[in-house]
Chains A and B, each alone.
Chain A
Amino acid sequence: MSETPARKRIESALADSPLTTADTSFDYRPVALMPDVKVLKIGGQSIMDRGRKAVFPILDEIAAAKDKHKLLLCTGGGTRARHVYSVASDLELPTGLLAALGGYVPRQNARMMQMLLAKHGGIYIMNDDFEKLPLYFRLGCIPIMTGMPPFGYWEKPAENSRIPAHRTDAGVFLTAEVLGARRAIFVKDEAGLFEDDPKKNRSAKHIPRISARELIAMDLPDLVVERVVIEYLGRARYCSELQIVNGLERGMLTRALEGEDVGTIITR
C-alpha cells in the first residue's frame, strides 16, 4: 500500500475519540433549556378512548391553568395503537415497523386535542417544531405534540416481544429530560401505582411514593409506565420524578400543576 493519506482534522477535545464508547474525560456542566415547562401526557387508552366524559373536564383544567404555566401536552395512543400492534404482530413484522405504525395514532389524538383547545391557543406541533417552543409559549399557546419519540423505523428490536420499547411514556419522559424539567406528569385513569390492579381489585392499596430502584426490585410483571422510563429515570440529569395522576378525578391535574404530590410520585 502506498503511503496512508493523513486525516484532515479539526483540533478539539474529542478529535481523537472514536465516539464509540462513553467518554467522561472532560468537564461537563449541563444547562437546563426550559426547566419551567410542565410536560403533560394525556393517556390514550385511559383518557382519549373514554371520549367526551373524560376529556372535557381535563380540557377545562388545562384552559384554566394555561396562563399560569407553560404547558406542553403530549398524547398517548390507546386502543387503535393496540389494534395496529396486533395486526403487525400477526403479520410478523419487525419492531421498527410497529414503532413507525404506532406513531400514527398519538398524532391523531394530538390533533383531536388541538381542535378542542384551539380556542384557548392549542396548537399542533411536530417533533421538528420543538425548537419553536419558546415562541409558542410567548404567544400564550398550548403546544400539543405526539408523545411518541421520533425513533420510528430506527426503534431497537425488543427482547421476547415485538412491541416497541419506546412509546409515548418514553417520549414524554425524554421530552421533559431534554427541556430540563424536573417532573413529567402522566394523566391517566388511576391515581398511579397500586399494590394490585385497581381495575380488578377495588381495595388494592395505593402507593403514593416509590423510587425507581424499589420498583425495579419488585420485578412486577406489569408496570404503570413503560419499562425503559424506569430504567432511564435512574440516569436522568433533570427529570428525576414521574407523577401519575387520575385525570378522571376533578382538580387532580390542577393540583399536580401546582406542585402538589397527588397521585403517585416515582422518584429517581
Chain B
Amino acid sequence: MSKLVTGDGRTHIDSPLMGESLVDRRVTARTHSEREVAILPDVVFVSIGGQSIFDRGKSAILPLVQEIAALRPKHKMVLSVGGGTRVRHTVSVAMDLGLPTGGVAQLVGAMEEANAVFLNALLAKHGSIVMQREHFWELPLYLSTGMLPIVISTPPYHFWEPPPEEGALPAHGSDFGVFIHAEVLGVSDIVFVKDEDGMYDKDPKKHADAKLLKRATLDEFSRAMPAELILDRQLFSAWKNARHVRRIQIVNGLRPGELSRALAREDAGTVLEREVTHV
C-alpha cells in the first residue's frame, strides 16, 4: 500500500512523481521507455472517405460495402467514415458567422456521425455497429464476436480544439482522429480508402501532371511534404512521436479489390511506413 507523505502543507501519495512538476523535462523523461503495451495489436483500421467515396452515392458505396463484408471473416477491422461535403458546408457557414475554432470543432462530428449511420444501415446484416466514444472499451467484445465496429473518427477535442498554427480551421480532423485512435490501441496498420490511387505530389484533380507516390518512409515523406495533402497534416506530425502505427496505406476505393490488396499488405496505392524503435 502506498504511503501518505505530509510535512510541506500538502498531502502526497508516495510515488516516483510525488511532488514533482509534470512540466519539468527531467521528470517527464523518466516516464518514457522504449516499450509500450499494444492494447489490440492484431486489428486494422479502415477509413472510408466522406467526400471521396460517400458523397458519390450508391455506385461507389455498394461495391465497397460488398468487399468489406467479404473481408470481415479474415480481418479484425475497425471502420470509420468521413463527413464529406456537409462538413465543408458546415465549416463554410461557421467561418462566415465568425464562430471560434473550438466552436467549429464542436459542430463537424455530427455530419460524419450521419455517414456512420448510413454505413451501418448497409453493413448491419454483416455485423456492423456504430460505436459511441463512451463505449471505447467495448471494442474487444465486438471484435472477438466477429462484428464490424464503426467508430467516430473526428477526435473529441470539441470546444477545446487548440488554436491552429495558421488560419482558423480546426487542425485535428477525421484522418488525424482515426490515426490517434489506432495509435492508442497499439494498432500498426491503417488503410485510407479514397477516390485517388494514393498520395500525389500535388492534387491530381487540379493538376494533370501530378505524380503518384508509391512508397515512402515517414522521414522521406516529411522531408518533401506536398502542399496539397490527401490526409490531415496533423496526422504526420503526430506520427513522428507515435509508438505503434507503422504502415499507412491509401488506396482507391472506386477500384474493386484495392482494399482487399491493402489488407493483404500488398503494394496498392501509396504505402507510407515508419521505422518504429518502440516495441
Q: Which residues of A contact B (CB under 8 A)?
A: 1-2, 4-10, 12-15, 17-24, 26-33, 45-46, 49-51, 53-54, 79-80, 82-83, 85-87, 89-97, 127, 130, 149-163, 166-167, 170-171, 174-175, 177-178, 180, 189, 199, 221-228, 232, 235-238
Minimal beta-carbon separation of A147 from chain B (angstroms): 11
- Are A10 and B85 within 8 A (Cβ)? yes
- Are B228 and A235 within 8 A (Cβ)? no
Query: Would you call B149 an interface residue if the criterion is a C-beta within 8 Å of the partner chain's C-beta atoms?
Result: no
Residues from chain A with Cβ under 8 Å of B57 in the complex: 5, 8
Which residue from chain B places its CB closest to the CB of A161 in the assembled complex?
Answer: B28
Query: Would you call B89 an interface residue if the criterion is a C-beta within 8 Å of the partner chain's C-beta atoms?
Result: yes
With contacts A28-B95, A46-B10 known, what are 10 further pairs, Cβ within 8 A?
A: A1-B255, A7-B84, A90-B16, A151-B156, A152-B156, A154-B157, A155-B180, A157-B238, A174-B102, A199-B8
- Are B238 and A156 within 8 A (Cβ)? yes
Residues from chain A with Cβ under 8 Å of B101 in the complex: 178, 237
Q: Given A18-B228, A45-B10, A162-B31, are A150 and B157 neighbors across the interface (CB < 8 Å)?
A: yes
- Are A178 and B39 within 8 A (Cβ)? no
- Report, nearest first, the 5 A-B pairs whose CB atoms are least far apart: A96-B184, A178-B102, A12-B92, A161-B28, A22-B166
Which residue from chain A places its CB closest to the CB of B103 in the assembled complex?
Answer: A178
Residues from chain B with Cβ under 8 Å of A155 in the complex: 180, 184
Q: Which residues of B contact A (CB under 8 A)?
A: 2, 8-13, 15-26, 28-33, 35-37, 39, 51-52, 55-60, 84-89, 91-93, 95-103, 136, 155-169, 171, 173, 175, 177, 180-181, 183-184, 186, 195, 203, 227-233, 238, 240-244, 254-255
User: A82 to B2, alpha carbons, bound, how many Å?
Assistant: 13
Minimal beta-carbon separation of B2 from chain A (angstroms): 7
